[in-house]
Structure 1
Amino acid sequence: MIELSSRLEGKVFDMYELELALKPYGFSVGGNWEYDHGYFDCKIGEKAGYQFIRVPFKAIDGQLDARGCRVKIGRPFLLSHKYQIGMDDHAHNGNASAAFNQFSEPADKDAELSDPPIDLGMTMIQKIESVLFKD
C-alpha cells in the first residue's frame, strides 16, 4: 500500500454528488462498505494481479445509503492484490463454479507497486481533484 498526498483528504462532500463526479473516471463504491464508511475504488492495472486507487470515506451526516448523506474523505492510497496463480484460469467454467471461486484469497494482499501505477495513481487523483475543486 502506498498513500497518496491529496487535497481531497479531510474534505466533505455530498455522497450522491461525489459518486456522480467520480463514476466517469472509473471509480465505484467498493463492495466492502458499511453504513458509516467505505471506499471508492478504481482499477488502474492488471500486472501480476490487480492495482487499485482507493479513496476512503466516512459518513459524517447520516448513513451511506440514505439521501443527503455527507462524507469526509480520507487519504487516498494505491493497493495491489496479487492473486493465486491458476484461480482465474477456471472462472470460465460456468456461473456455479464462479460463485465459489470469486472469493479466493489473494496470494499477496499488499503486493509491491512499481513506478507506472504510482504515476498513474497520482494522475488520476489530480484529475478528480480538478473536477471536485473546479480548477
Structure 2
Amino acid sequence: MIPIASSLENKVFSLYELEKQLKPLGYVVGGNWDYDEGCFDYQMADQGGYEYLRIPFKVESGMLDAPGATVRLGSPFVLAHIYQGGVENHADNGALQGMVNQFQSPVDPDAKVPDKYVNRGKKLVQQLEHLLV
C-alpha cells in the first residue's frame, strides 16, 4: 500500500454527488463497505493481480445504503493484490473469472506496487482534486 498525499483528505461530500461524478470515470464503490465506511476503487491493471487507486471514506451523516448520506474522504492510496494462480484455468476470461476472483483470497493482499502504477495513481488523484476541490 502506497499512500498519496492529497487535498481531498478530510473533505466532506454527498455520497450521491460523488458517485455521479466518479462512476463515469471508472470508479466503483468497493465491495468491502459497511454502513459507516467504504471506498471508491479505480482498477488500473489486472495482469497477474490487480492494481487499484483506493479512496477511503467514512460516513459523516446517514448510512451508506440510504439516500442523503454524506461522507468524509480519507487519504488515497495505491495497492496491489496478487491472486492465486490456476483458478483461471477453470474459468473463462470475463464475467466468470471475475466472479471466481471476487471470492478467492489474494496470495499477497499487499503486494509491491510497480512505480508506473504509483505514478498513475498520483495523476488520478490530481485529476480528482481538480474535479472535486
Of structures 1 and 2, the larger Rg is shown by 1
- The answer as to whether partners of 2:83 and 2:101 remain within 8 angstroms in 1 is no
- The answer as to whether partners of 1:91 and 1:101 remain within 8 angstroms in 2 is no
Q: How far apart are residue 88 of structure 1 and its match?
A: 2.1
Q: Secondary structure at the residue paired with 1:92?
A: coil
- What RMSD, in angstroms, separates the aligned Cα atoms of the two structures? 2.1
Distance in 1 (CA, whole Å) between partners of 2:42 and 2:97 is: 26
User: Which structure 2 residue ranges, 5 or more long, are not aligned?
Assistant: none
Distance in 1 (CA, whole Å) between partners of 2:40 and 2:97 is: 28
Q: Secondary structure at the residue paired with 2:82?
A: strand
Letter of the 2:67 counterpart: R
Distance in 2 (CA, whole Å) between partners of 1:97 and 1:121 is: 25
Aligned to 1:5: 5
Alignment partner of 1:128 is 2:102: no
Aligned to 1:42: 42
The count of aligned residue pairs is 132
Aligned to 1:82: 82
Distance in 2 (CA, whole Å) between partners of 1:56 and 1:99 is: 23
The one-character-per-residue Cα deviations of 1:62-99 (angstroms, maximum 9, x if unpaired) are 10111111100001111100111111222229x99986
Aligned to 2:33: 33
* TM-score normalised per structure 1: 0.89
- Percent identity between the aligned chains? 46
Distance in 2 (CA, whole Å) between partners of 1:51 and 1:99 is: 17
Letter of the 1:9 counterpart: E
Distance in 1 (CA, whole Å) between partners of 2:33 and 2:63 is: 11
Distance in 2 (CA, whole Å) between partners of 1:119 and 1:4 is: 10
Distance in 1 (CA, whole Å) between partners of 2:8 and 2:67 is: 22
Distance in 1 (CA, whole Å) between partners of 2:70 and 2:41 is: 18
